[in-house]
Structures are given as C-alpha cells and as structure tokens.
C-alpha cells in the first residue's frame, strides 16, 4: 500500500518539484495509527552547488499546495521536505556529479590497471586508501577517501592527497559523501 501511495505521489510531485527548479530524489510514506508522514527528498537537478534554504522553502510550498489540491493522502499527515543531507549515499551518475568538490568515501572492487593519473602510493601511505580484506569486509574491496574532482556517466575522479584516481562507476560497491573536520 505504501509503495502505491509513493508511486502516486511521485507522479503528482515530480512536475511540481521540477517546476520549482529542483529534482525529486525520492518519497517515503510512513503510517502510525491514523496519522501519516510524507517525506519528500529534493536536490538540485545536476552539477555542483547547494540547494539553499530559500529554494527549499519554495519547493516545500509548491509541494504542500499540490498535495492540498490533489488530496492523495487519506487522513491527517505531516509533510517533511528536505535534502538528502551532507552524508548522503551516492548511487547514480547524477549523485557523483552533484558531489564534485565534496569529500567522499568509496568502497570499490580491486581491479587490475585502475587508472591513476599520478602515482597514488603517497595516498596509500597517508591512509586515504585501505584494503578492507582484514576488517571483516568482503575480500577484494578497497576503501578510498578523497575529494570528487570530476564525474561523468561512467567514472568519478577522486583527488587523494594531491593525486587523482579515476574509478569506474561499475567498480563502486558503496559510496557516500562524508564531512571531514
């Protein structure tokens, strides 16, 4: 039932969110008794940048008006409109393009001939690449932490201690933005 409501809300809200200059990242509905919560995740359509508070407010007002008019959720509900957050999961080429300039942590398959644009031995010595074989993770995986320098539909370029490493999106098993203090 929740999936059907989420699909219906996605159909209704995609043009509304796009009309407000944003991208509909996802919708999740939960129910507790007779009350529901509708969570709408929005982001910028593509490329680097931040969705500011004023833009988020505009999207939230447009979503609220569309829901009031169409009334697709039965009973009382709370509407939450937000962005995916500072430590969001990255799973699509658009996510990686949005992460340009931000720090990320990737878990990648070890591949022979991974393309380094410069020698990455210094990055390994600094601890920004590590094998995960010994820490209970699946053998053959490596964790990389660096800054996204570039991204396209097929790969992401990480800057790790001044060196760049190109990683195929097909080799990435897990990825998320991280906040490093």
Show pLDDT as tens, one digit a residue, over the chain (181 residues). 568 888 999 999 999 999 999 999 999 999 888 889 999 999 999 888 889 999 999 999 999 999 999 999 888 899 999 999 989 999 999 999 999 999 999 999 986 545 554 444 444 444 455 444 444 456 789 999 999 999 999 999 999 999 999 999 999 999 999 998 8
* Tokens representing residue 110 in the block: 């070890």
Q: What pLDDT, on the 0 to 100 scale, is given for residue 112? A: 53
Give the pLDDT of residue 1. 58
Longest dimension (CA), the chain: 60
Residue found by looking up tokens 């169409």 in the block: 70
Provide the b/e sequence for 69-93 (b: ≥16 CB within 10 Å). eeeebeeebeeebebbeeebebeeb
pLDDT of residue 139: 72
Q: How many CA atoms lie within 13 A of 88 on its CB side?
A: 19
pLDDT of 133: 42
pTM of this prediction?
0.78
User: 53-70 and 2-19 helices cross at what angle (nearest 10)?
Assistant: 130
For the record, the structure tokens of 179 come out as: 């906040």
Q: How far apart are the C-alpha atoms of 4 and 27, rounded to whole Å?
A: 11
Burial 165-175 (b: 16+ CB within 10 A, else e): bebebebbeeb
In this prediction, residue 131 carries a pLDDT of 42
Q: Which of 6, 95, 27, 18 is nearest to 58 (CA)?
A: 18
Contact criterion met (CB below 8 Å) for 150 and 156: yes
């Amino acid at each position: 039932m929740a999936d059907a409501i989420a699909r219906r809300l996605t159909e209704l809200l995609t043009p509304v969110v796009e009309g407000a200059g944003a991208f509909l990242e996802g919708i999740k509905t939960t129910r507790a008794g007779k009350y529901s919560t509708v969570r709408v995740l929005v982001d910028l359509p593509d490329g680097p940048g931040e969705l500011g508070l004023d833009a988020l407010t505009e999207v939230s007002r447009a979503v609220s008006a569309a829901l009031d008019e169409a009334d697709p959720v039965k009973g009382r509900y709370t509407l939450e409109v937000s962005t995916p957050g500072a430590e969001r999961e990255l799973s699509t080429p658009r996510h990686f393009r949005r992460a340009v300039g931000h720090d990320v942590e990737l878990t990648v398959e070890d591949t022979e001939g991974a393309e380094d644009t410069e020698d990455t031995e210094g990055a390994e010595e600094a601890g920004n690449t590590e094998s995960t074989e010994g820490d209970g993770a699946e053998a053959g995986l490596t964790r990389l932490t660096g800054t996204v320098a570039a991204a396209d539909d097929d790969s992401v370029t990480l800057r790790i201690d001044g060196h760049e490493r190109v990683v195929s999106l097909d080799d990435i098993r897990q990825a998320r933005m991280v906040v490093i203090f």
